[in-house]
Every structure is written in structure tokens, then in C-alpha cells.
Amino acid sequence: MSTTAKTYIEPGHTSIDRATPRKTPTGWQLDWSVRLHDGRIEQRRSKAKTKGEVRARARRKAEEMLASTSTEWTPRTPITTYIDKVTRPKIEKSSQLKDLSKRRYLASLNLVAAELKGYSVHDAMQFRVLERTLQAIANTHPGSVSSARTVLSTYIADALVRDGVIAGNPIRGARLDIRAQGKGEVDGRRTLTSEEYDTVVKHLLTRDTSGPLVQPKKGGARASTINAHARVTRLTLLQAVTGLRISEANRLRWAHVEDDGENIIINATRDIVKGRKGKEKGRYIPILREDVAEYLRTHREDEAHYVVGSPTTTASAWDATNADDKVPELYSQIADETGVEILRDLRSHSWRATLHGVYADVMDARTRANIFGHTEQIADEYYNDRANVEALIRATAQARTSADTPK
């Protein structure tokens, strides 16, 4: 059969009207093509005794083919319509997803929908369009790229394939060229401004942790579930003022919190800090905020107990992986309650970056590197970009002295 479609055929349309019937010994024949709703091209040949009848027969066949593959959705449907009517309800009603995952996916879905606004399904589901969409999200919300890809691939593209609207998922198993932001945002790092930082720390100090972080669907919450809310709040506060990693903060005991009545200094010993084996280096971290120092004094326990502790007892450390699982939900709730929206896209390692920027005006790179960790070079390269951070907090001379010459 010869190819009749030399020009592009829109989904749901045919080449019947522009194809030329050919005379045969027994009548007429017409070679024509139809593009189905999922984008596939099908070629057919119709035969009849007259020229008019051969076109009519071809049209009836095309209608049958299109009807058999028809759904409510076509490649020309606005992608945002499909997202609102199919994707969003599917995520919201999923019995396979936990509440935390639902919130994360729905937040990422909002980012995806904003980037794809104005596209049809057909145009949106092009590989380069999807790649550019994820790159745009990586630029503005680096912490959401992974969940955004899952939403695009599993909850949009795969669903469109099942609905017969597209032939395949263009990014399923594909390697995408997604790059982090350039200088000043190495590895997609982002930080809080000084005002945002102050707002969040004050919120953490006064946050009501008397109930669970997320209400259980049935029955009351167990004591350990409620305690986990208080633990992750204290963990976040500790990270926010020290720059410690989750694993480091969770290993911190009250014995490491040195208080002379005026200043509190965290003695992060070699067995606590993270580093290459054999090259770990302890450091002293002054608590530069009086409100946080007072909080630590108020909540101090036996020196052998952990500052954070597990949800069951502060006599044992909290597993870093389990602790990290609670962080996104807490950050999301804090964003809701304080309006510090950037928290939705940050993870626990971002506090170190924030501290380097917040104190850049009052501490040189070496001092910040000694206190918060990293080398002086990394402190300058990663964290001293003033386009992203407003370094407005004024540390006192006492804070500088404490940072340089810990007791």
C-alpha cells in the first residue's frame, strides 16, 4: 500500500478528503490514513464501484476506527484539564499512598501544572517539553524534582497511555538532562533569608507539640507517635542553630551541651561529626541566640540522655532514617503556619547553608567553616552568595569570641 499522508494529520482526522481515488479494472480504490486519538497512524485501502462511494466507504471505516479508540480525552485536550479531572483526584483518593506522600505529590503536581499551562496533551507529552518542565522545577524547587518526575510519569503519562490518548510514556526509564543551578546554588541548594530564619526559629520554640504531627485516620495516637512530633521539632531547632546533620544531631547527648551560666556551647566531638573515616574533626558550636539557649536550659535532662532522643525514650538515640521521614511533613506544616514557603522545598541539610549566609556579615569564611562545618573554600563557594541570602543577623562581639575561642 502506498503512503498517502504526506502532510501532518491531527489526531481524530483522516487524509480521505485530500487523497485521490484511482481507477481499477473493477471500480475505484482509495488509499488513506487516519490518526487515532492516541496519536497512532493507521493506513487503509477502500474499494467501491464509484468514486463517490469509495470515499463514503472510507469515511464510515474511519468513523468506526475512531469510535473504537475514543475516550473522553483526546490529544487536543488541555493538559491542565486532564490534571484537574483525572490526576489530582487519583492522587487524593489513592489508598496506596500515605498522607505525607499525597501532600508531597499534590504539591509537585501544582508545580507541574503551572509549567504545562497552555499546552495540549499532545504537546505536553513531548520528551523535550517534559524535560524542560522538570528543569524549570529543579531551578526553583530543587527538592521537588524527584516527586515531580514521579507525578509526570506515573500519574499523568502512564494514565494517558491507559486512557488511549498517547501511545507511550516518553520519560519512562529515560535519562533526563536535569542540571542543578549554577554558581551560588551548587547542587540546587537554597536558603532562608534572615527574616525567614528568625520567623522559623521562633515558631519552633513556641510550637504546640502536644498532639501528633499527623492525626491518625482511626483511633487515638500512641504516645510514641505524639512524642515524635516533639522530637522532630527539637531536632529541627537544633539543626537550625548548629548546622548539624540529622545523624550528628541525633547522636548529641546533654553531656555535649556545655553551659557556664552565660553561654552555651555545643561540643561536637569527633565521634559525633561526620567525616571521612580517620579524618573526623570535632568542633565547638556556640548557641548565638539567647532564646534558644534559654530553651535548652529549660529542657535539659541527665547528661547521659540524648538531646533529641527516640520517640519512646531520650535514653536512646533516634534512628536518622526514621527521623528524616518526619521532616518533610513538619516543614510543610511550618510553611503553612508561618508563610515561609521555601520550607516546602528544603531538607534538613539546608540549615547549614542558611547559617553560612545568615552570619556572613559578622563572621569570616574560616570562622563559619570552623563552627558550622565544611572547608573555608566551600563556605565561600557554596554559602556566601548574596543573591540568595540576606545576611542581616548581627552577632555580638561575645558571639564572635565564643566562636573563635570556645571554652
Please provide the DSSP assignment of 218-240 as one string. Answer: SSPPPHHHHHHHHHHHHHHHHHH
Find the range with the poorest average confidence among 47-61, 141-155, 231-245.
141-155
Say whether pLDDT at 341 is over 90. no
How far, in Å, CA of 245 to CA of 242, rounded?
9
Find the range with the poorest average confidence among 3-17, 103-117, 129-143, 372-386.
372-386
Backbone angles phi, psi at 29, to 5 degrees: -135, 150
Amino acid sitting at position 34: V
The domain in which residue 58 lies consists of: 1-70
pLDDT at residue number 351: 86
What average pLDDT does the structure give for the chain? 80
Query: Based on the domain organization, do 165 and 309 belong to the same domain?
Result: no
Residue 356 forms part of a structural domain: yes
Query: Based on the domain organization, do 245 and 294 belong to the same domain?
Result: yes
Query: Based on the domain organization, do 246 and 288 belong to the same domain?
Result: yes
Q: What is the pLDDT of residues 204-230, one digit of tens each?
A: 999 999 999 888 777 777 888 999 999
Burial class (CB within 10 angstroms; exposed 0-12, middle 13-18, buried 19+) of 295: buried
Find the range with the poorest average confidence among 215-224, 275-284, 330-339, 377-386.
377-386
Distance (Å) of CA 80 to CA 2, 36, 121, 137: 38, 22, 8, 17
Q: What is the pLDDT of residues 164-196, one digit of tens each?
A: 888 889 998 777 777 654 433 433 446 788 888
Say whether pLDDT at 69 is over 70. no
Residue 375: pLDDT band with limits 50, 70, 90: very low
What CATH number is attached to the domain comprising 158?
1.10.150
Those residues with Cβ within 8 angstroms of residue 229's Cβ, 6 or more apart along the chain or in another chain? 209, 211, 212, 213, 330
HEC letters along 290-333: HHHHHHHHHHCCCCCCECCCCCCCCCCCCCHHHHHHHHHHHHHH
Residue 184 forms part of a structural domain: no
Burial class (CB within 10 angstroms; exposed 0-12, middle 13-18, buried 19+) of 118: exposed
- Residues 151 and 134 sit within 8 Å (Cβ to Cβ): no
Residue 86: pLDDT band with limits 50, 70, 90: very high
Residue 38 forms part of a structural domain: yes
Query: Based on the domain organization, do 283 and 375 belong to the same domain?
Result: yes
pLDDT at residue number 6: 58
Contacts 24+ apart (CB under 8 A), 179-185: 179/135, 179/138, 180/138, 180/142, 181/138, 181/139, 181/142, 183/381, 183/385, 184/385, 184/387, 184/388, 185/142, 185/385, 185/388
What CATH number is attached to the domain comprising 363?
1.10.443.10
pLDDT at residue number 393: 29
Strand ranges across the sheet with 22-24: 22-24, 27-35, 41-48
pLDDT at residue number 121: 93
pLDDT at residue number 328: 86
Distance (Å) of CA 328 to CA 149, 232, 237, 337, 398: 18, 10, 14, 14, 35
- Residues 368 and 360 sit within 8 Å (Cβ to Cβ): yes
Backbone angles phi, psi at 56, to 5 degrees: -60, -40
- Residues 203 and 338 sit within 8 Å (Cβ to Cβ): yes
pLDDT at residue number 144: 78
Query: Based on the domain organization, do 288 and 375 belong to the same domain?
Result: yes
Residue 406: pLDDT band with limits 50, 70, 90: very low
Region 338-353: mean pLDDT is 79
Number of domains the chain contains: 3
Q: Nine-digit cell at 282?
A: 570535632
Backbone angles phi, psi at 152, to 5 degrees: -60, -45
pLDDT at residue number 152: 94
Between 6 and 127, the more confident residue is 127
- Secondary structure element (H or E) that encloses residue 211, with its range: none
Say whether pLDDT at 283 is over 60. yes
Query: Based on the domain organization, do 172 and 293 belong to the same domain?
Result: no
Q: In this structure, what DSSP letter does residue 384 have?
A: -
Radius of gyration of the chain (CA): 30
pLDDT at residue number 190: 65
How far, in Å, CA of 307 to CA of 266, rounded?
11
SS3 label, residue 28:
strand
How far, in Å, CA of 309 to CA of 314, rounded?
4
Residue 186 forms part of a structural domain: no
Q: What is the pLDDT of residues 223-281, one digit of tens each?
A: 889 999 999 999 999 999 988 888 889 999 999 999 988 888 888 888 887 644 555 56
Residue 104 forms part of a structural domain: yes
Between 72 and 407, the more confident residue is 72
| pTM listed for this prediction | 0.50
Residue 201: pLDDT band with limits 50, 70, 90: very high
Say whether pLDDT at 359 is over 90. no
Residue 12 forms part of a structural domain: yes
Between 165 and 374, the more confident residue is 165
Region label for 126, one of left (φ > 0), alpha (ψ between -120 and 50) or beta (otherwise): beta
Q: Percent of the chain beyond pLDDT 70?
A: 80
Strand ranges across the sheet with 283-286: 257-259, 264-268, 283-286
Residue 5: pLDDT band with limits 50, 70, 90: very low
Between 156 and 357, the more confident residue is 156
User: Residue 71's CB: how many other CB atoms inside 10 A?
Assistant: 13
Query: Based on the domain organization, do 175 and 269 belong to the same domain?
Result: no
| Nearest-10 crossing angle of helices 194-206, 290-299 | 20
Query: Based on the domain organization, do 88 and 221 belong to the same domain?
Result: no
